[in-house]
Amino acid sequence: MTRIKLVDPESIHDPVISEILSWVVDMEGRIPNHFLVELNFPEFFKAKLSATKTLWEMGELSMEEIQHIGIAVSKANNCQYCTAAFCTILTYGLKKDEDYTKAFLNSGSEAVADERLKLFVDISLKVNNDPFSITDEDMEQLRNTGITDKGILQLLHLVSDFASYNRLNIALQTDYDYRDIWKLW
pLDDT tens track for 116-153? 999 999 999 999 999 999 999 999 999 999 999 999 99
Task: Determine the average pLDDT of the residues in 31-50.
Answer: 94
What gap in Å lies between CA 55 and CA 157, rounded to an integer?
8
Give the chain's mean pLDDT: 93
Task: Classify residue 76: in a domain, yes or no.
Answer: yes
Task: Classify residue 9: in a domain, yes or no.
Answer: no
Domain count, the chain: 1
Residue ranges in the chain assigned as alpha helix (H):
15-28, 33-38, 42-57, 63-76, 80-88, 98-107, 115-129, 136-143, 149-172
Task: Classify residue 5: in a domain, yes or no.
Answer: no
Task: Classify residue 2: in a domain, yes or no.
Answer: no
What is the CATH classification number for the domain harbouring 136? 1.20.1290.10
Q: Which residues contact 181 (CB under 8 A, 6 or more apart)?
A: 98, 102
The one-character DSSP state at 58 is S
Task: Determine the average pLDDT of the residues in 82-91.
Answer: 93
Q: Residue 142: give the domain boundaries.
A: 14-185
Q: Is the pLDDT of residue 58 over 80?
A: yes
Task: Classify residue 1: in a domain, yes or no.
Answer: no
Q: Is the pLDDT of residue 185 over 80?
A: no
DSSP secondary structure of 114-157: -HHHHHHHHHHHHHHH-GGG--HHHHHHHHTTT--HHHHHHHHH
Task: Classify residue 6: in a domain, yes or no.
Answer: no
